[in-house]
């Protein structure tokens, strides 16, 4: 693998301890604020020194505590795009892009600068100062400066967090295009679950400085190894649970028995289901069939809405009483909600066996 990282660093609240290896496909580093994401990038870039461990890039050792190797940041051939872009306010767009190319001949420096201006769609902005740019233009300038040095690794620290919703969508597409053509190791730090999913091929989940999960993003989202990883990747519904058989569990908080398709190899302690995977049935019959497995009556306790989705808080099996907490949280598009919102209560939900996640001891 081009980039190999195995480091520990003592911090005030915990010890950062991460280990992973990544190739040419982008790796998204996901976790809440304070999880150690940015510190991991800074250690790789050489801006922070780990207490122990090893970092290697394309078989070149950048840090090895046992051998007392610590290559200076300027010699690591790594570009770090900061969250606030860190453009030099007194330099123009072209001068910012060319800043790290002082070792090149003037013609080569000019050629690389022009190439990045064209690639990142900055034509016509070459002579503007950062204060004269929009947020998206500043982000593209910072990305052009990072790529101009032909780095062997590209580290992106929350690259979209400073942008408004409209700009974020545009710049995300630019990032996707850039990362698809980039051949070095690329790490993208974010606390945004959807952003991590769209931009990364693999996923590293950090929690209080520890690697909670690492691997293909589809596998982690579909089969999170622990309830904590499920929470960090957006799952909102959990219940204590116990195994009844190799494919059946009892979810005690939801007061129901459930068939599951996930293989139960060890005793189960918890069950979960993602909010968008709860199915609302337009009609329900008592006829035994696969379609009626894990189907339960429910009553809404409250709702919350965004421009396109409705979040429904549900009570299973019986109507809610005053201050009765909901059992489940479901999310549906408003078009789907319109189909059943006026239907007589109780509604019926299906917790599909293939959508349920079980967590062992």
Which residue, 270, 223, 267, is CA-closest to 245? 267
Kindly list the domain boundaries of the chain, sorted by start residue: 3-231, 235-361
**Sheet of 237-245, strand order:** 256-259, 248-251, 237-245, 268-273, 357-360
The pLDDT tens digits along the chain (361 residues) read: 699 999 999 999 899 999 999 988 899 999 998 999 999 999 999 999 999 999 999 999 999 999 999 999 999 999 999 888 889 999 999 999 999 898 889 999 999 999 999 988 899 999 999 999 988 889 889 989 999 999 999 999 988 776 766 777 777 888 888 888 898 999 999 988 999 999 999 999 999 999 999 999 999 999 999 999 999 999 999 999 999 998 999 999 999 999 999 888 788 999 999 999 999 997 655 444 556 789 999 999 999 999 999 999 999 999 998 888 999 999 999 999 999 999 999 999 999 999 999 998 7
Contact 72, 147 (CB under 8 A): no
pLDDT at 284: 58
Contact 314, 327 (CB under 8 A): yes
Q: pLDDT, tens digit, for every residue of 169-228?
A: 777 888 888 888 898 999 999 988 999 999 999 999 999 999 999 999 999 999 999 999
Structure tokens at 117: 């201006």
5/12 Cα distance (integer angstroms): 22
pLDDT at 120: 87
Q: What is the DSSP letter of 344?
A: P
pLDDT at 80: 93
Domain 3-231 in this protein, CATH class: alpha beta
Q: pLDDT, tens digit, for every residue of 313-330?
A: 999 999 998 888 999 999
Contact 10, 48 (CB under 8 A): no
Burial 180-214 (b: 16+ CB within 10 A, else e): eebebbbbbbbbeeebbbebbbbbbbbbbbbbbbb
Contact 277, 265 (CB under 8 A): no
Cα dist. 138→12, 150, 176, 245 in Å?
33, 20, 17, 57
Contact 187, 81 (CB under 8 A): no
pLDDT at 82: 84
Q: To 5 degrees, how large is the angle CA 110–CA 116–CA 121?
A: 130
23/176 Cα distance (integer angstroms): 17
């Amino acid at each position: 693998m081009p980039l190999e990282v195995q480091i520990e660093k003592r911090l005030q609240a915990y010890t950062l301890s991460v280990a992973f290896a990544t190739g040419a496909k982008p790796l998204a580093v996901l976790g809440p604020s304070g999880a150690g994401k940015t510190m991991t990038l800074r250690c790789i870039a050489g801006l922070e020194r780990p207490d122990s461990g090893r970092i290697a890039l394309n078989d070149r050792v950048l840090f090895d505590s046992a051998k007392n190797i610590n290559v200076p940041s300027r010699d690591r051939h790594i570009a770090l795009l900061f969250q606030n872009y860190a453009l030099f306010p007194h330099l123009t767009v072209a001068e910012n892009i060319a800043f790290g190319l002082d070792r090149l001949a003037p013609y080569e420096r000019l050629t690389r600068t022009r190439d990045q201006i064209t690639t990142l769609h900055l034509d016509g902005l070459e002579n503007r100062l950062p204060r004269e740019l929009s947020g998206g233009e500043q982000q593209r300038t910072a990305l052009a400066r990072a790529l101009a040095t032909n780095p062997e690794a590209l580290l992106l620290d929350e690259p979209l967090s400073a942008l408004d919703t409209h700009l974020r969508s545009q710049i995300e597409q630019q990032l996707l295009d850039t990362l698809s053509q980039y051949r070095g190791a690329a790490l993208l730090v974010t606390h945004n679950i959807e952003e991590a999913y769209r931009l990364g091929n693999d996923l590293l989940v950090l929690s209080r400085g520890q690697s909670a999960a690492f691997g293909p993003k589809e596998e982690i989202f579909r089969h999170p190894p622990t309830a904590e990883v499920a929470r960090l990747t957006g799952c909102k519904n959990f219940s204590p649970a116990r195994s009844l058989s190799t494919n059946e569990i009892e979810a005690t908080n939801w007061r129901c028995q459930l068939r599951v398709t996930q293989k139960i190899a060890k005793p189960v302690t918890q069950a979960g289901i993602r909010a968008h995977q709860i199915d609302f049935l337009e009609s329900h019959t008592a006829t035994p069939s696969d379609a009626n497995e894990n189907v339960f009556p429910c009553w809404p306790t409250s709702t919350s809405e965004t421009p396109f989705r409705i979040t429904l808080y549900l009570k299973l099996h019986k109507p809610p009483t005053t201050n009765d907490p909901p059992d489940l949280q479901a999310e549906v598009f408003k078009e789907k909600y319109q189909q059943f919102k006026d239907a007589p209560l109780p509604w019926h939900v299906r917790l599909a066996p293939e959508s349920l996640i079980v967590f062992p001891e």
